[in-house]
Amino acid sequence: MKKILILINGLLILLSFSCNTKKEQTPINTKSDTLNSVHSITLQRMEPYFLEQEGRDLFLQNCTSCHTSRYIFMQPDFPRKTWQAEVTKMIEKFHAPIEPDNAKKIVDYLTKIKGK
Ligand code: HEC
C-alpha cells in the first residue's frame, strides 16, 4: 500500500512537471516593441489670459499646482496690496512652498497683468 502511494505521488510530480514544460508563454507581439513600451506626449500649455511678461513662468509654476489659473483670472483687477495679501495668504494659510524672492516677482507680475 505504501509503495503504491509513493508511486502515485511520483507519477503526480512527473505529471505536473510535464504540464509545466508544455505551457510555454508566447509573448503577444514579439516583433513590435513599440506595443510594449510606455509612451507619453506633452500637451502644449495654453494660458491665453496670462500675458507674456517677466514673472509669468514663476507664476505658472507656483500658482497653478493646487488650483487652476482660473482662480486668478476670474478675480477682478486688484491693487498691488491685495495681490500681495493674496500671495501671502497662499503661503501662510495654504502652505504654498514659494520663496520670498519669487513671491515678490509673482506679485509684480500679477499687478502688471491684473492690477489697478
Ligand atoms: C498649496 C496650494 C496652493 C498654492 C500653491 C496656491 N494656492 Fe491659491 N488657493 C489655495 C486654496 C486651498 C484656495 C482656496 C480654495 C477655496 O476656497 O475653494 C486658494 C484660492 C485662491 C484664490 C481665490 C481667492 C481666495 O483667496 O480664496 C486666488 C486668487 C488664489 N488662490 C491665488 C493664488 C496665487 C496667486 C498663487 C501663487 C502665488 C496660489 N494661489 C497658489 C491653494 C493654493
Using one digit for the tens of pLDDT, what is the confidence trace for 42-70?
Answer: 877 777 788 889 999 999 999 999 999 99
What percentage of the chain carries pLDDT values higher than 70? Answer: 68
**Contact between residue 50 and residue 56 where contact means Cβ atoms under 8 Å apart:** yes
The whole-number pLDDT of residue 111 equals 97
pLDDT of residue 54: 94
> Does residue 91 surpass a pLDDT of 80?
yes
Cell 505521488, located at residue: 9
What cell numbers appear for 57 in the block?
A: 513662468
How far apart CA 80 and CA 107 sit, in angstroms, is 7
* pLDDT score, position 115: 95
**CB of 94 closer than 6 A to ligand 1?**
yes
Q: Residue 50 C-alpha to ligand 1 middle, in angstroms?
A: 16
Residues near 57 by Cβ (< 8 Å), separated by ≥ 6?
none
Sign of CA dihedral 89, 93, 74, 107: positive
Best residue for ligand 1 mutational test, from 64, 83, 86, 108 (most atoms within 8 Å of Cβ)? 86
Task: Choose which residue among 67, 78, 87, 107 to substitute to test ligand 1 binding: the one with the highest number of ligand atoms within 8 A of its C-beta.
Answer: 67
